[in-house]
Amino acid sequence: MERAVPLCLPKTRLALMTDLIRIFTERGDLAHLALLLWATSASALAWFALRELAAASRRFDDFVRELARFNELFGDH
C-alpha cells in the first residue's frame, strides 16, 4: 500500500485535486465526490448570479439618478 502524503504539504492544485480524487475513488465515495462537485458548482453559479444582479441594480440606480437630474434641469420647460 502506498504511503499517503499529508495534505498540509505544499503542492500544486492539480496534484492536490488528483490526490483527492484518488482518495475518493479508493474508498468508493464517488457519490460524495459528485455531491461535492455539484455543491461547488451550484455555489459558484449562485455567487455569479448575485454579483451580476448587484451590478444591474447599480446600473439601474445610476440611470434613475441621471433621469432625476435631467428632470431637475429641464422639468419646467
What is the biggest distance separating any 2 CA atoms in the chain, rounded to whole angstroms? 86
Distance (Å, whole) CA 31 – CA 76: 67
> Confidence class of residue 5 from pLDDT cuts 50, 70 and 90?
low
Provide the pLDDT for residue 23: 78
Distance, CA of 34 to CA of 40 (rounded, Å) = 10
In the predicted model, what is the mean pLDDT of residues 6-27? 72
pLDDT, one tens digit per residue, over 33-48 is 788 899 999 999 999 9
